[in-house]
Amino acid sequence: MSVAIENFVKAIYKNGKRDHNDTKPGNIAKELGISNAAATDMAKKLATKNLLHYEKYQELKLTNKGTKMALNVVRKHRLWEALLFKLFDMSLHDIHREAELLEHQTSDLLANKISEYLGNPKFDPHGDPIPNASGEITTIDTSIPLSNTEEGKTYTISRLMSDDKEFFDFCAQNGLKYGNSVLISKQFSKNKMTQILINNNTILLNEDFTSIIYVNEQN
Amino acid sequence: MSVAIENFVKAIYKNGKRDHNDTKPGNIAKELGISNAAATDMAKKLATKNLLHYEKYQELKLTNKGTKMALNVVRKHRLWEALLFKLFDMSLHDIHREAELLEHQTSDLLANKISEYLGNPKFDPHGDPIPNASGEITTIDTSIPLSNTEEGKTYTISRLMSDDKEFFDFCAQNGLKYGNSVLISKQFSKNKMTQILINNNTILLNEDFTSIIYVNEQN
DNA sequence: AAAAATTTTTAAGCTTACTTAAAAATAGTT
DNA sequence: AACTATTTTTAAGTAAGCTTAAAAATTTTT
């Protein structure tokens, strides 16, 4: 299976996981930076390969086979992120970009070796869960976006759901890192801003950020 | 530049380094597993990109630009081999296969990070020299094939110049490994066999093997 | 040096993964 | 409900990197 196909099923998988699950060709096209026409073509083709269900004008739905393929690519991506993060001093954004390419050129054998070397980690450096070799995500995700947190409580950062360089640069500068603690100083419901205390610094985040930073409540 | 192009210049580079330097399209085609026609087409195309000099029916010759590209790919290949060898328990053959794919999906930045992490090694696990970031091979290779050694002398294995699984399996079983010592017990000039003593075992090698195992004399 | 064998080149054609442009269907707005 | 805007689909076309088959040139053999 080609890189284009792997990326296609991966895009459907990711878009399907989101709030407003939109997996119509146009959204997948946007995700991949290709034309809508190309996405429709590919969707039809992958339907014949039993990777997804295609019905005109409807959302694209991965079959079990398609989901398995997507999870296998996601597994390799996240294992590479974890390995590069451990070995090298590189920004999360750079690590993501390298993993985006390496994920398609990695045998199952190598993926298993990386996993073993890292002690079979359950999460990558963004806090995203790493599927196991069978394509299952065994961890239960109880985390919530920062936008849904309560004033005065303290949380642990569990996921940074983004690929964006500026976002990661901002995170790196402000200690917004997987595992770190944040205290919610104030929730401004009107303009959907959130004020947090982290590393003894007070910072103010807008919804763009509070919707992609996930946390778990500390007990 | 595409994977096909990178592999093409790499194949010319490798074939150009051999004894009977044959870089005509047919040999490159054989190396890459494509048709002669495809190799001729590609050669013409790469000439327009200033990667090689093409003259009908003549050997293909890399330009400086082409050589630089080839060495950059070779560098990434060998750095991956060195890294995988260090981190994981995998056969040299498997390591080679993974590196063959990863080499094309590796930024210069990542290559430099790998090199740095490994302490800027000069050789990969086969003993092949690793070009530096400028595409230069600074080491001087004084090694000779086992077939040219003298009876009674002891040598250090410096290179295993092969990609073949069976060869590596044989090497692994018999302690034929980069850095190990071999004593030449006997050279049979008639049938070009060589008897060596390694790890207290006497083994007999034919020319297929003695021509690709390189060694340095121990003083 | 001529004949035979091999290699290289040319030509035509294929598949993959795209593109743009226009037609058809759906979704949003008044 | 009708009109408008957007999205999806269809259709035609392109570039990369191959293929096979046949013609042209080179190399090897006798």
pLDDT score at B192: 84
Domain A144-217 coded CATH 2.30.30.90: yes
Q: Which of A152, A143, A165, A124 is nearest to A210 (CA)?
A: A143
Q: CB contact, 8 Å: B3 with chain A?
A: no
Lowest mean pLDDT among A20-24, A59-63, A100-104, A145-149: A20-24
pLDDT attached to residue A161: 84
Q: How far is B26 from chain A (nearest CA, A)?
A: 28
> Cβ(A33)–Cβ(A22) under 8 Å?
no
Q: Is A40 within 7 A of strand D by CB distance?
A: yes
pLDDT tens, residue by residue, B34-80: 999 999 999 999 999 999 999 999 999 999 999 999 999 999 999 99
For chain B, say whether A53 makes contact (Cβ under 8 Å).
no
State the Cα–Cα distance between residues B156 and B181, nearest whole angstrom. 5
pLDDT at B105: 98
CA–C1' distance A40–D2 (Å)?
A: 30
pLDDT at B21 over 80: no
Q: Is the pLDDT of residue A19 over 70?
A: no
Angle value at C-alpha A190, between A188 and A195, nearest 5 degrees: 15
A168 CB-near residues (< 8 Å, 6+ apart): A91, A92, A93, A160, A162
CB contact A113 to B (< 8 Å):
yes
| Residue among A94, A105, A106 minimizing CB distance to B109 | A94
Sequence spans of domains, chain B: 3-62, 144-217
Please tell me the predicted confidence (pLDDT) of residue B19.
61
For the domain made up of B3-62, the CATH class stated in words is mainly alpha
Radius of gyration of chain B (CA): 19
CA gap B121, B130 in Å, rounded: 7
The partner residue sitting opposite B90, judged by closest CB among A89, A102, A113, is: A113
Question: What is the CA A42 to C1' D1 distance in angstroms?
Answer: 37
Are A74 and A13 in contact by the 8 Å Cβ rule? The answer is yes
Whether B21 CB is under 7 Å from strand C: no
In this structure, the strands spanning A52-53 and B213-217 are unpaired
Dihedral angle computed from the Cα positions of residues A38, A40, A42 and A43, in that order, rounded to the nearest 10 degrees: 160
pLDDT of residue B166: 86
Mean pLDDT of chain A: 92
Q: What DSSP designation does B88 have?
A: S
Burial code of B101-132, b = ≥16 C-beta within 10 A, e = fewer? bbbbbbeeebbbbbbebbeebebbbbbbbbbb
CA A1 from centre of chain: 22
C-alpha pair distances (Å), B203 with each of B93, B175, B180, B195, B199? 22, 11, 15, 6, 10
Q: Which nucleotide is nearest to B34 (CA to C1')?
A: D18
* pLDDT for res A139: 84
User: Could you tell me if the ipTM is greater than 0.95?
Assistant: no
Are domains A3-62 and A144-217 of this chain identical in fold? no
